[in-house]
Structure 1
């Protein structure tokens, strides 16, 4: 039985790519206990995220992918906490658009495990929304943190640079819909869903082609 808890923040800012900018609200997930914590996607507001972490030791800042709305606060949060930033290396070109000259501290790789407060999270490389997109599966929490790979109602967007629709479908089919159906999907934007709620709709998404 884990003593870990899940804290959830919603932060607001913008997402920019391919010459466009959009207002967005992002989910920031913090897994931890009273002693230590892990942040998934340091979006927009390092002060708010640091306040939620409090005086706990921050063991890492995991980036599900490197779109600027998911990583814009990561260096500032790392600077004030000493926590390493972890990113899949295939997303380094996107990262460098936002933070040139400041490399992530460690690479995420498929199958790698990250531990915090007795919880083990397994990295699932799920390209499509971006080349280095990852999800984090935490069986002890009955959850997967999907970033922008899977939302309530379908896959993440693939209409911009560095993204590909057939690839995201393959990632969802092979890596996420194979998880237990009761697995809660904590997404990068919007409401939670479950694997079981989304799985029946795969063919509809393919037919829509987006």
Structure 2
């Protein structure tokens, strides 16, 4: 498929807070689009920096891979600046309300839903485990998976805090992600990119170590 769409990336810094603790974090913000329109995946920490990266493009949606505060803290401000809707899986509304009790998302993401921008289709994959409403976005035309905090270079996302569950994230990764083509590049919520082929051989190691 020929497309003018591209993937852009910026890193924003802030804090992650849950269960009474707070940690400094760097987040990956992904922009998918062309010169005219785009979507933002995970509006983290700095709405101004994200808006600057968008330039004058039309923002079609702010997609939240899950509702931990470090992935959604800048979403309402970015929505106010751009008029774009915030989209979140409904199972993560309890987490969302911890950060934004007075502002609800504008739409719900559902497994199998297809988002379209700049001639590219991104399919929503519900991948619970790190959070109940965690999703990944698969864009085969870009050979890309946007994994949020479900899959990283080196293993699954963390499951040691509230709303998370290790056996569930393993099932999500095994059944929904490792079945994708091996050359698929995994654009993660934090840290470096990886590929499905690089992570697939290690599934049993993760299970044995009980990430």
Sort the TM-score into its range (normalised by shorter chain): over 0.9
Aligned pair count? 210
Please state how far the C-alpha of 1:101 moved relative to its aligned partner: 1.5
CA RMSD, 1 decimal: 0.3
Displacement of 1:209:
0.5
TM superposition shift of 1:5: 1.1
Q: Distance in 1 between matches of 2:31 and 2:120?
A: 12
Q: 2 CA distance for matches of 1:5 and 1:150? A: 22
Unpaired stretches in structure 1, ≥5 consecutive residues? none
2:106 counterpart residue number: 105
In 1: Cα distance, 2:176 partner to 2:110 partner: 14
Cα distance in structure 1, aligned partners of 2:15 and 2:102: 22
Instruction: Report what 2:97 is aligned to.
Output: 96
- Name 1:47's counterpart in structure 2: 48
Report the TM-score when normalising by structure 2.
Answer: 0.99
Q: Normalising by structure 1, what TM-score?
A: 1.00
**Aligned counterpart, 1:16:** 17
* Residue of structure 2 in register with 1:115 after alignment: 116
CA distance in 2, matches of 1:176, 1:5: 22
Structure 2 unaligned blocks of 5 or more = none
Question: Per the alignment, in what secondary structure is the counterpart of residue 173 of structure 2?
Answer: helix
CA distance in 2, matches of 1:51, 1:130: 30
Q: How many angstroms apart in 2 are the aligned matches of 1:101 and 1:107?
A: 17
For the residues of structure 1 that align with 2:116 and 2:104, how far apart are their CA atoms? 22
Separation in structure 2 between the aligned mates of residue 47 and residue 132 of structure 1, nearest angstrom: 27
